[in-house]
Amino acid sequence: MARFLLLLLALLLLLAGGSATNISYDHRAIIIGGQRRILISGCLHYPRASPQMWPALIRNAKEGGLDMIDTYVFWDGHEPSPGIYNFQGRYDLIRFLKLVHQAGLYVNLRIGPYVCAEWNFGGFPAWLLKLPGIQFRTHNRAFEDKMEEFVRKIVDMVKSEQLFASQGGPVLFSQIENEYGNVQGSYGTNGKTYMLWAARMAKDLETGVPWIMCKQPDAPDYIINTCNGYYCDGWKPNSRDKPAMWTENWSGWYQLWGEAAPYRTVEDVAFAVARFFQRGGVAQNYYMVRMLHDLEQHLLMPERCQYFGGTNFGRTSGGPFITTSYDYDAPLDEFGMLRQPKWGHLKELHAALKLCETALTSNDPLYYTLGRMQEMVQAHVYSDGSLEANFSNLATPCAAFLANIDTSSASVKFGGNVYNLPPWSVSILPDCRNVVFNTAQVSAQTSVTKMVAVQKPSLIEEVSGSYTPGLVEQLAWEWFQEPVGGSGINKILAHALLEQISTTNDSTDYLWYSTRFEISDQELKGGDPVLVITSMRDMVHIFVNGEFAGSTSTLKSGGLYARVQQPIHLKAGVNHLAILSATVGLQNYGAHLETHGAGITGSVWIQGLSTGTRNLTSALWLHQVGLNGEHDAITWSSTTSLPFFQPLVWYKANFNIPDGDDPVAIHLGSMGKGQAWVNGHSLGRFWPAITAPSTGCSDRCDYRGTYYSSKCLSGCGLPSQEWYHVPREWLVNEKNTLVLLEEIGGNVSGVSFASRVVDRVCAQVSEYSLPPVAQFSSLPELGLSCSPGQFISSIFFASFGNPKGRCGAFQKGSCHALESETIVEKACIGRQSCSFEIFWKNFGTDPCPGKAKTLAVEAACTEAVDSAPTLVRT
């Protein structure tokens, strides 16, 4: 094995302090200070949460069994203008790295600086476009110089804070570029030259920790190339000297405006992760992952697995058209709360994998097929290699993974024992004999959250991800009507239609194009004409003589650019045409991003005049960058009547915040499209006016079988996002200010604030469930926990016997221990959490001797107010 070792750092020896860690790897392990490790990593992008949220997110990631946090570094956020850096607030990278370090976790620092990440322009600052001759992500001085400058800046900062693991810090890996292998071919030989330049440039920065390139099959020897895939089992790096590491594959998983929300069962997520380690994985990262599942048939299987997604605040969402919520159905939800049972089940999986670490890191697995169905039940055994085919003589260490990749259950003999494997599941045997975990057996509790309206008294309930707003007090609104066409702020006149990004420098979503033209009576004889824009992106709102005529977006056109044909009404004489072009997140994926452009990228004509077509392309156009409201050119009013369903209205209201520490959200489901700010912080874009298709959703998702991104959807027929996260950090105790910009018309009466809390918790565990991994070989256990600051206030359901149904709809079966409720109430009411060992003696008399029994409980969580709860029933 020694010959595989890649020694990274003679340099380390020179570092004083003794805290420096020697990091190396071979194809079976990441070797940290001499210890052979497998690593479980989760993505947590620091600017997608507020700094106040970071400590709890990191703590919950650690408690969930993660070893490493994976984050991109966001160039556009850190260098908003050339040479002007921002490392404050959500962009305080060093503070974030230090917090991760304090928590005892490692970091995979994916510097990029192209990051994709569903982030605006893939992380590129728009000012790069101003550099003459620049081409992104290929061999040219303009780009390479700026890229190197930024990467060097980040590496120097991390180094000077002693944050690389080689210096005793948490940064174990860094990534250069991102999925370049996917686009390299589009750049000809310059692509390869650039890739090799980037690799060499990174290496020469001498971080002392390994560099990674994901999806880069031709990465040079000193770089680890990693797998980005739906299921990464079966994937191999390009050299036996390298460990199999799984980073991510971004495509097909994020949510666009107007789409239903994809979700993935925890059984299947756990299956994919377990399969990766079963088949030789060393480091895995929760992100969206997809890959070739290399069964004989090479099925393509999608999945998503961000550990915490968070929020695309401000104008950071990419796309175009990526939603503001970046929740991802992740183990930690957008608000930072545990998503249960996902978080808890994966925690068990991680604990089971850790029990296998010594065996996993010592050798390649031996592979066996079991059972009658060829290849459908697979065993992978990690041992010292001397394992006998008949298992009479198990070596130590020894760990085995038994996978049933069939959609029905299987019973197989392995090492002389019989194992029952649920469909589409992996059992983990850290000693090659005893199953400690099965991916399809979920004992972790389910938590049901709700939104509690701030303006008392009603509740807004979340039911399977959808929400129904309750009655709330009205906010007192002021408003301002944005002038159509702008009012000439920073006006740019041209006999042409200017490309949007180079005109606005992406400082705003908006660019007005307005012009005046004369039409005679004669020309209007043919009836109402049609305005044609031959090519535009991402969206235009068209106004004629101050009146809104219509909007077109490229969202559902299937292409990057769309043609607009808008019937308009003209009058004889001078007409005023004003087109508001709006970007909705700059493209984040693909080659040649710098060539895309936005706004009106074609010609503008008026068709259907009795004299034919009037070409306005070279008319005198007045361009205004941004809206008056964005330039603070606003005169608020509250005397005229409050505008409803009017385009281009700014609204403002003051509000007080909900008490406590629960996450806060604003309901914008009644609005059209626009942006929202609280106390000057942008919450992001909203667009509830566009709804998801009404079909394709399922209430229940069959975890079995190949996953694909449209397999399990929720929110059909509803806006993609009605609730928007308002970080507590941005709120003050009294008199917060909300500002909304409405582009197309909405109903501000439906706007309200709520806090998000856990409402109910449920769990269901049987006598034959596996005991918690950490308590190897004890009894199965049912645990219930409300959030910190809450207590269990009542038990809706408790039955030890053969209860039926699921959370929210449990029912007693024919077998029921009469004392179930009393026993559960006694143990749980008034407490934040409670747990039960599943054994009949704990529930009085055996309600049905000889039969397998299950305990199912559903309990209510309530916010602990000032005094201790006194709700204990007798």
Ligand X SMILES: *[C@@H]1O[C@H](CO)[C@@H](O)[C@H](O)[C@H]1NC(C)=O
Binding site for ligand X (CB under 6 A): 5, 7, 9, 12-13, 22, 24, 31, 34, 130, 179, 182, 215, 228-229, 249-251, 290-292, 388, 390, 392, 504-505, 507, 603, 605, 613, 615, 617-618, 625, 670, 747, 749-750
Q: Residue 691 or 833: which CB sits closer to ligand X?
A: 691
Question: Do strands 211-214 and 573-582 pair parallel, antiparallel, or not at all (unpaired)?
Answer: unpaired
| Alpha-carbon gap, residue 88 to 51, rounded angstroms | 10
Is 388 an annotated catalytic residue? no
Q: Residue 33 or 567: which CB sits closer to ligand X?
A: 33
118, 328 contact by CB (below 8 A): no
Residue 539 C-beta: closest distance to ligand X, Å: 19
Assign residue 801 a region (left: φ > 0; alpha: ψ between -120 and 50; beta: otherwise): left
| Alpha-carbon gap, residue 774 to 443, rounded angstroms | 14
581, 540 contact by CB (below 8 A): yes
Tokens of 402: 């038994």
Tokens of 809: 């709809």
Selection from 367, 451, 827 nearest residue 668 by Cα: 451
Q: Residue 323 or 503: which CB sits closer to ligand X?
A: 503
Residue 72 C-beta: closest distance to ligand X, Å: 15
What's the start-to-end Cα distance of the chain, in Å?
Answer: 65
354, 274 contact by CB (below 8 A): no
Q: Residue 565 or 698: which CB sits closer to ligand X?
A: 565
Q: Residue 422 or 719: which CB sits closer to ligand X?
A: 719
Q: Residue 413 or 735: which CB sits closer to ligand X?
A: 413
| Alpha-carbon gap, residue 375 to 414, rounded angstroms | 15
Tell me the residue type at 552: T
Q: Residue 96 or 655: which CB sits closer to ligand X?
A: 655
Tokens of 258: 């107007």
Residue 317 C-beta: closest distance to ligand X, Å: 17
Indicate the angle between helix axes 54-63 and 93-102, nearest 10 degrees: 40
Selection from 670, 657, 655, 672 nearest residue 738 by Cα: 655
| Alpha-carbon gap, residue 781 to 759, rounded angstroms | 22
Question: Do strands 283-286 and 245-246 pair parallel, antiparallel, or not at all (unpaired)?
Answer: parallel
Element (H, E) at 536: strand 530-537
191, 185 contact by CB (below 8 A): yes
SS3 label, residue 288:
coil
Q: Residue 432 or 859: which CB sits closer to ligand X?
A: 432
Q: In what order do the strands lie in the sheet with 425-429?
A: 366-370, 377-382, 399-404, 425-429, 437-438
What is the widest separation between alpha-carbon atoms in the chain? 99
Omega prior to 113 cis, within 30 of 0: yes
Residue 703 C-beta: closest distance to ligand X, Å: 21
Selection from 737, 682, 746 nearest residue 324 by Cα: 682
In which residue are the tokens 């000889």 written? 850
Residue 8 C-beta: closest distance to ligand X, Å: 8
Residue 578 C-beta: closest distance to ligand X, Å: 19
Residue 764 C-beta: closest distance to ligand X, Å: 36
Residue 183 C-beta: closest distance to ligand X, Å: 9
Residue 13 C-beta: closest distance to ligand X, Å: 5
Tokens of 521: 């009576």
Tokens of 316: 């950071």
| Alpha-carbon gap, residue 706 to 623, rounded angstroms | 51
Three-state SS annotation for 820-853: HHHHHHHHHCCCCEEEEECCHHHHCCCCCCCCCC
Q: Residue 61 or 291: which CB sits closer to ligand X?
A: 291
Its sign, for the CA torsion 271, 275, 278, 283, is negative
Q: Residue 390 or 641: which CB sits closer to ligand X?
A: 390
Q: Residue 67 or 179: which CB sits closer to ligand X?
A: 179
Question: Do strands 283-286 and 39-43 pair parallel, antiparallel, or not at all (unpaired)?
Answer: parallel
Is 179 an annotated catalytic residue? yes
Q: Residue 216 or 438: which CB sits closer to ligand X?
A: 216
SS3 label, residue 210:
coil
- What's the residue count for the chain? 874
| Alpha-carbon gap, residue 870 to 868, rounded angstroms | 6
651, 742 contact by CB (below 8 A): yes
Residue 522 neighbours by CB distance under 10 Å: 11
Q: What share of the chain is helix, strand, coil (3-state, %, to 5)?
A: 20, 30, 50
SS3 label, residue 856:
strand
Q: Residue 68 or 232: which CB sits closer to ligand X?
A: 232
Residue 222 C-beta: closest distance to ligand X, Å: 16
Residue 497 C-beta: closest distance to ligand X, Å: 9
Exactly one of 248, 594, 743, 863 is catalytic; which is it?
248
Residue 588 C-beta: closest distance to ligand X, Å: 11
Exactly one of 118, 144, 179, 357 is catalytic; which is it?
179
SS3 label, residue 748:
helix
Residue 272 C-beta: closest distance to ligand X, Å: 13
DSSP 484: T
C-alpha Rg value of the chain to the nearest Å: 29
Active site residues: 179, 248
